[in-house]
Structure formats: C-alpha cells, structure tokens
Chains A and B, each alone.
Chain A
Amino acid sequence: MSEKCKAKLINFVKKSVFADFIRGLYITFSYNFEGAMTLKYPDSEKWIPYRRFRGLHTLNKNSEGKELCVACELCSRACPTDCITVIPEENDAGRGIADRVAKVWEVDLTRCMFCGYCEDACPTTAVRLGREYELACTTLERGTRSRDELLLPQPVPEALTGGVVAKARFIRSADGIKVVAELGKVRQRKL
C-alpha cells in the first residue's frame, strides 16, 4: 500500500470514530476541573499588582521622615503630557532633605498616561508610581491629586511583592466606591 493510500485510510478511520471530536470534547471537559480564572472583583477579591506596576503617584520620604522632593521640576519637564505642576518654595524648618521644597506638587490624573517618565527623571527618587489603581472619580477636582495626599503611606506597603489575589471588601460611600483589600488573606492566581 502506498503512503498516500495509507494516510487516506488512517484519515477515514479517524473520521469515522470521531477522533478529532473526541479530543476536542476531552479538552473542554478537562477545563471543568481547572476552576475559574475569574477574580470576584469588586465583590470580594482584589488583585494586588507587582511592584513594577505603574499606578497612582506617591511622594516618598526618607527614613527620618523628611520629604525627598527637592522641587527641581525635572519630573514636570520630563512629563510628555505636561500634567505635573511643581511650585518650589524655601523652607529651612527641615521639612525636606534640602531647604528647597515643593509648595505645590500636583498631578493631573485625567491627563497622565502612567508612562513613568517622571519617576525616571527624579534625581532623588521622590516620585514613584505606586500600586493604587482605583482612580475613577465623579468630579474633575478628584482627578487632580496634590502633595498632601500623595505623601500619605500607600495602602499596599512597598515590602509586599504582590502578584496575589487578596480578599477584599466593597465599600460604597459619599466619595465614591472603593475596594479595600485585606492584605493578610491572599491566594495565588490560577494561570
């Protein structure tokens, strides 16, 4: 029997016992036991991203609690969308690491595209993009975040590696909705 004939015969037998169908059906059936990849966000779960994630900006302090920002405006210059406003002032009360500090440091999140150039430009690693990603807001004012708020410690501490799914609570309040993660209860995500 020639090779071609043989291949044809095998093909015929395969077709008449529905070999391909059965393989397909087997694959989809096996998915039944894999569990879902879906996260129950925002109901009861929340994804904690890795450190490399580029979310809401944070302004950092050094270990003595002094602001790292020296108001050099480099971030503002580096920003492609021109959304950072820095107005420097002089302050020798020791608020920052130098006596030049930012009087105003604002980022317009409605324009920011989270490229991270500000982070790269900063000479003192003062500005970092953090892991907060629930930025939807109902008023335009909330779209602009200023220094005071950005200086607060992040909800997800730097020490946590991330890349896990945490249990979370869904909170609806006057300033909008928030999903608050309980960082103690985490699980790995199925991939």
Chain B
Amino acid sequence: MPELGLIIEVVLIFIKVYIVGMILFMLPLPLTWLERKVAGRIQVRLGPHRVGPKGLLQPFADMVKLLLKEDIIPDKADRFLFKLAPLLAMIPAFAVFVAIPVGDTFTIPGIDYVFKLYISDMNVGVLYVLAIGGLGIYGIIFGGWASNSKYSLLGGLRSAAQMISYEVALSFAAIGVVMMSNSLSLVEIVKSQGGGFWNWNLFYLPVGPVWFLIFFIASLAEINRIPFDLPEDEGTLGSGFHTEYSGMRFSFFMLAEYIAMVTISVLAVVFFFGGWMPPIDPATFGIKVPAQIMSVWGIGWFIAKVVVFIYIFMWIRFTLPRYRYDQLMTIGWKILIPVSLITVLVTGLMRIFLT
C-alpha cells in the first residue's frame, strides 16, 4: 500500500494537468479576440465590436461557426492521416506545458503543505521542451501530405525545411541559456535569474541580448509566424498545409498555432526575462515580504511578461512583410548559425574566466 503522501501527490498532478489543459484549451478564445483587436488598432480600425461588448463574444461566434461547418475530407486523401494530423499538431503543444513553471512553490499556511507551481521539474526540462515542441511539425507535414493537394504538400515541405533549419539555431539559443544559467531544469534556470532585473539572462552582457535575438528569430520561424509564415503563405500557396481543412479540424490547427505562440512567449520569459521573478526584489532592500505573497505576486509577473510577449508577436505580425524562401534559408544558415557559434564561444569563455 503506497503511503498517503504519494497518493495526494499523484492526485494533485492529475488536477494540475487538468487545469493546465483546460486553460490551454480556452486560451485561444481571448487570444483570437486580442489578435484581431491588435490588428484593428494597428491598422486604424476597430476590430471586432458587434458581438457582445467590445466584440468580446466574437470568439464564441467563431467557435459556433466552426463547429457547424461541414467537415470536408478531399477525395483520394489519406483519410487516416488526414484525421490524425490536427491532433498531431495539437498534442505536443499541450505536452510542452508539463515542464513549464509558473512559479516556484506555494506553502499553504496552516498545514505547511508545499504546493508546487509546476507539474514536473525535469532535470532535462530545456531539452524536453524543445524536443516535444518540435514534434508539432508532424501535424503540419502529415496534414500537408495527406490532403492530396499540391498547395498543402508544398506548405508541408516548406515547413519541414524551415523547421530543420531553424531548429539548429533554436537549440543553440537554448545551449546559450543553459550555459548562462548552468542548468537544464527550467525551475533552476529561473531561480538563477532571481534578485532583480539586472540578473536576468537578457542582461548577461554582452551575450545575453544576442542570445535573446537568436532565440526570438528562430522561434518566430519555428512557430510559423510572420515574417516566417511561408508554410501558410496566402500569396502563393492558397493557405498552405491547411488549405483542405475545414470546420473543427481546421480549428485544431489554429488552436495548436496559438498555443505554440503562448509556448514560445513563455519560454522567452523563462529563458531570458526571469520567469516569475519580479524585476526588483524587495529582499534586496531588506524588506521582508511573506513567501506566500511573493509567490502570488510572482505568478502575476509571469503572466504579465507572457502577455507582453504575446502582444509583441502580434505587433510584429501586423508590421512586417513575409520573407522570401531563399531569404529565409539565408537568415537561418548563413547568419543565425554562425552568429550563434561565435556566441557559444564567447559565452563559454565568459563562464570560464568570469566565474
């Protein structure tokens, strides 16, 4: 008979997984609204404003529309793969969040139970996140192939090539973070950045900002957002790998895309912006704040930082044009990778001689 503590732990994990899953499922609703509002403001329009106050109910209207749409499977499509692909795109996006910490621990006062604000603190967290996050590509490739349409196939192909090219730069950026923080665990990485914003990896001068830029550019390409959204380039490919998808299956792809955006925002915050650490720690001024308040405060900071990043992604989307395919490859192989190799060297030397 396993002891009570273990059972509670397991039950808690299930509850946490459930909560995180629900949040992620619901997240695209506000995000689509936000994206359109941001687009509206940037293009001097209003954005959605007719369904509900300020258009807040627009995502629900969209959801109803998508649910009621006919689900079309093209002739001669590979039916099994065609149905599987949206799920393949979505599941890794969810699975990544197992390793994401929103905070450290929360000691419940009274019973002194230490509640962990993450599902699992793996000692290979960084690798896990990158590996699982990278699997989402299969949804795109298989979706593109199974549709039996040339536009979809080209979208899938482009996606595969793009992903392989930028995965390298992204992993280099992760290596940089690991070198700066001296750990592969996401919780440890955040902890190493505590104490104030000058300790954040972003301000690990002079390499921090370079790593951040490499990470940011590579991740934009990884999640297929403008200016690297060639797999769904409307101008040349219909709408790329999901040209043939409709209704609920299409919305799964959209869901995966939004979650991927959140994932990358979260990773940027964890890697470079100190995760849940507030920019200025009261402890540096000798002010004592109860640990519970600090952890709630930290979650607030975490969410705020992530929201800022999501905004930046949207802002970029409605500002920049799309790259040409050869430019995309040039940026990946001829700029990002050499720059990251040099930066690895500099970071290594800094670690050896400065610490």
Contact = CB atoms under 8 A, between A and B. Distances in A.
A21 B50 CA distance: 34
Interface string B316-347: 10111000000000000000000000000000
A2 interface: no
A40 interface: yes
Contacts of B43: 31
Given A21-B320, A25-B319, A31 B49 contact: no
Nearest to B213: A18
B157 to A, nearest CB: 28
Nearest to A33: B41
Contact of A40 (B41, B44, B49, B319): B49
Interface in B42-65: 42-46, 49-50
Interface in B171-216: none
B195 to A, nearest CB: 29
Please tell me the size bucket of the interface on B.
10 to 19
Contacts of A43: 50
A188 interface: no
Contact of B45 (A24, A29, A37): A37
A184 B315 CA distance: 39
A34 interface: yes
B interface, over-half SS: loop
Given A25-B315, A28-B319, A38 B46 contact: yes
B216 to A, nearest CB: 11
Contacts of A31: 41-44
A28 B49 contact: no
A104 B316 CA distance: 62
A1 interface: no
A35 B49 CA distance: 14
A36 interface: yes
B318 A28 contact: yes
Interface in A16-53: 21, 24-25, 27-29, 31-32, 34-38, 40, 43
A34 B44 contact: yes
Contact of A36 (B40, B316, B319): B40
A37 B43 CA distance: 9
Contact of B44 (A24, A29, A37): A37
A38 B55 CA distance: 15
Contacts of B41: 31-32, 36
A25 B44 contact: no
A42 to B, nearest CB: 11
B50 A29 contact: no
Nearest to A23: B319
B51 to A, nearest CB: 12
Most buried by A among B41, B49, B315: B41
A40 B54 CA distance: 12
Contacts of B44: 31, 34-38
Contacts of A32: 41-42
A24 B43 CA distance: 13
A181 B43 CA distance: 27
B339 to A, nearest CB: 9
A77 B349 CA distance: 91
Interface string A100-113: 00000000000000
Nearest to A35: B44
9 contacts: A25-B316, A27-B319, A28-B42, A28-B319, A31-B44, A32-B42, A34-B44, A36-B41, A37-B45
Interface of A: 21, 24-25, 27-29, 31-32, 34-38, 40, 43
